[in-house]
Structure 1
Amino acid sequence: MVRTPATQPVRFSCRKLIAHVRSLSPTLSTGKLPRRQTNDVDSHPNTRLYSTLFRKNYTMLATVFAAGFAWEIGFNSTMDKIWDSNNRGRQWKDIRNKYVEGGEDEE
């Protein structure tokens, strides 16, 4: 028995309660997902991006691997440029000609 704020007892039968819960969720009553309604949101670029790249597992996996590979290449090349600019004149490639005579012909 459930009491309302007016302290009047309200009785629910199991059938009424189940029918009420099913009416709240279309998935429970029919066993199927509700049909997708098309509206202006479907033409949004993020929706197209999601449906193209992230909807299926294999496309999401390929997208994540490709993005990780591209990020690694970009990050490494940027950090190498920063490192070289900060350490110019102190690396072996910069001071090699001072210590090696004759260039590449050491054999």
Structure 2
Amino acid sequence: MSLANSIYNTLFKRTSTFALTCVFSAFFFERTFDLAADKLFEKYNEGKLWKDIKDKYQ
């Protein structure tokens, strides 16, 4: 319970820190999700992307 109280008192008690927490969390979530989606796309399409086949056409 003390961990929840300390997180609440640090990040969520004041409106300004709550807003900053939301903004930073959204930024880091978006960045992480974008990198993971790119990796998944490249893994799924391996051998079909330009970086994989450009040697054949140059």
Q: TM-score w.r.t. structure 2 length?
A: 0.92
Q: Structure 1: any 5+ residue segments left out of the alignment?
A: 1-40, 101-107
Q: How do 1:1-107 and structure 2 match up within 5 A? A: 44-100=2-58
Higher fraction of helix? 2
Q: What letter matches 1:85 in structure 2? A: K
Larger radius of gyration: 1
* Identity across matched positions, percent: 33
CA-atom RMSD in angstroms = 0.9
Aligned residues: 58
